[in-house]
Amino acid sequence: MLLQDVEWDQALIEKYNSSSPRYTSYPTALEFSPRFSEEDFREAAQRYPTRPLSLYLHIPFCHQLCYFCGCNKVVTRHSEKAERYLQQLINEIRTRATLFSLRPLTQIHFGGGTPTFLSDAQLAEVMRVITEVFTVDNSAEISLELDPRQFPLERLAALRRIGFNRLSMGVQDFDPVVQQRVNREQDEAQIVELITAMKRLGFTSTNIDLIYGLPQQTAESFAHTIDRVLTLRPDRMSVFNYAHMPELFAAQRKIKSDELPSAAQKLRILQQTIMQLQAGGYQFIGMDHFALPEDELARAQRAGSLQRNFQGYTTQSQTDLLGVGVSAISMVGDTYSQNEKTLTGWASRLAEKGSAIVRGLTLSAEDCLRRDIITTLMCQFSIEISQVEARISQPFDDYFAEELRLLAPMQDDGLLRITPERIQVTAKGRLLVRHICLCFDQYSRARAAQQAFSRVI
Ligand SMILES: C[S@@+](CC[C@H](N)C(=O)[O-])C[C@H]1O[C@@H](n2cnc3c(N)ncnc32)[C@H](O)[C@@H]1O
Ligand code: SF4
């Protein structure tokens, strides 16, 4: 499948520029319930006993606080905290592994926080335990998120020896004024050296994270950052929309709201970023993500096999995801579940109950159907009517009459085309695909109806 470049339509983007879920899961985390139990999780682990497994490890520690950060992290200078955490994490890994003994481990990802807060010896120890208790596939993707500050170049070779073959690095913005405002000053020359060395050492699918919408950013300054990143040519790029929620993240209160770009400026930055990256040869994967056409994420999208999970886009299909560590999320069988979000809560639950799960959801058959439709729309930008009908044993138009009614004005606006064969998102609808997915989201509709009802009474 050839994917056209995404098309920017200012009027449409302004019309539909309201918030909607990112659909890293359907139903979204808003539907997770405390009634979900460890027994539910264990049962789910048995549902597809030989399905490949992807393992996510959350390492929450960071050396220094970036004011914009919305991740689950603990800023500390005390490395002994990490040592204690690691022992508890290893206990969790060992306990969980017994439930997944028949499965090949095809993906391991260390996220955070900052996994490189851990020393090479600590990372090697966790990897040793993983290979001891799981069957790690020979071609497994083993990746880690890296903070380029406080990261000596020599560590890269050590990471390679430990088994890592992919890296993702936070850069955010190269502009010194923006960096100063968000308390994240870093040396551009060092980042250049790191990327060069990563390529030399054979790391693949190298990713760089950027954020648009940070204080003191302008269309011109961010264009300069993108130009600099284009010369580095990472395989993948994530360009996140800055989520400013100071009531939720105390550190964001240090960011002066009058220094933030306006909504109109942010749109201009995004438009220009997309144009620059497409002109620079990157494929727009969807929702903040870009990849070089030869990267496997881009190839999977063209082949129709791209998937989406809590970590974003992935090439791993029909894989369960096991999350370990504080706040980690799992997608096992037809369930989602999440560990306790605070470090002390996570540790005490693990010690007392042997499980840190505090909420989750078992999907109904209807949820699974809608999840597959939404994932396909998010990844492939089209759905085949006959494939859906094969699952519902009745005409699509009857089953999804309400959805088609909601989609009709979007079709009139040119976001999508509905034919008897498929629903196809157009080049200008691709940036608004979340709104199209929203039409298939029963929970969001129920919430909207409830809100409207409470406003009326
Ligand atoms: C866990 S961090 C990356 C690894 C490492 N800690 C670092 O900062 O380099 C994941 C990414 O989330 C993004 N991020 C964090 N807070 C954000 C926010 N409030 N809005 C948008 N993106 C955010 C940043 O781009 C960051 O690189
Ligand atoms: S952006 Fe990365 S380094 Fe900065 S506080 Fe967040 S997790 Fe830590």
Q: Which of 58, 59, 61, 65 to mutate to test the pocket of ligand 2 (most atoms within 8 A of CB)?
A: 65
pLDDT higher than 70, residue 400: yes
Q: What is the pLDDT of residues 18-34, one digit of tens each?
A: 878 889 899 999 999 99
- Rounded Cα distance between 428 and 10, Å, is 10
What residues flank ligand 1, with Cβ below 6 Å?
62, 68-71, 111-114, 145, 147, 170, 172, 209, 211, 240, 242-243
- Rounded Cα distance between 136 and 106, Å, is 6
Exposure string over 30-61, b if 16+ CB within 10 A, otherwise e: ebbeeebeeebbeebbeebeebbbbbbbbbbb
pLDDT higher than 80, residue 396: yes
Please tell me whether 56 is known to bind a ligand. Answer: yes
pLDDT value at residue 453: 60
Name all domains of the chain by residue range, CATH numbers in brackets.
1-27+364-457 (1.10.10.920), 29-324 (3.80.30.20)
pLDDT higher than 70, residue 167: yes
pLDDT higher than 90, residue 319: yes
Least confident of 53-67, 228-242, 299-313, 336-350: 299-313
The token duo for 202 is 């054979």
Residue owning tokens 């359907």? 26
High-pLDDT (> 70) share of the chain, %: 98
For the residues 213-232, what does the mean pLDDT come to?
97
Q: Residue 170 Cα, ligand 2 centroid: separation in angstroms?
A: 8
Please tell me whether 124 is known to bind a ligand. Answer: no
Residue owning tokens 């966790």? 126
High-pLDDT (> 90) share of the chain, %: 88
The token duo for 301 is 């999208």
pLDDT value at residue 455: 55
Name which residue sits closest to atom 25 of ligand 1, judged by CA. 209
Instruction: Answer for the pair 297, 205: CB distance below 8 angstroms, yes or no.
Output: yes
Binning pLDDT at 50, 70 and 90, where does residue 457 land? Answer: very low
- Rounded Cα distance between 407 and 418, Å, is 9
Q: What is the pLDDT of residues 54-105, one digit of tens each?
A: 999 999 999 999 999 999 999 999 888 999 999 999 999 999 999 998 899 9
Q: Which of 240, 249, 254 to mutate to test the pocket of ligand 1 (most atoms within 8 A of CB)?
A: 240
Q: What is the pLDDT of residues 244-295, one digit of tens each?
A: 999 999 999 999 999 999 999 999 999 999 999 999 999 999 889 999 999 9
pLDDT value at residue 4: 67
Ligand 1 atom with minimal separation from the 211 CA: 25
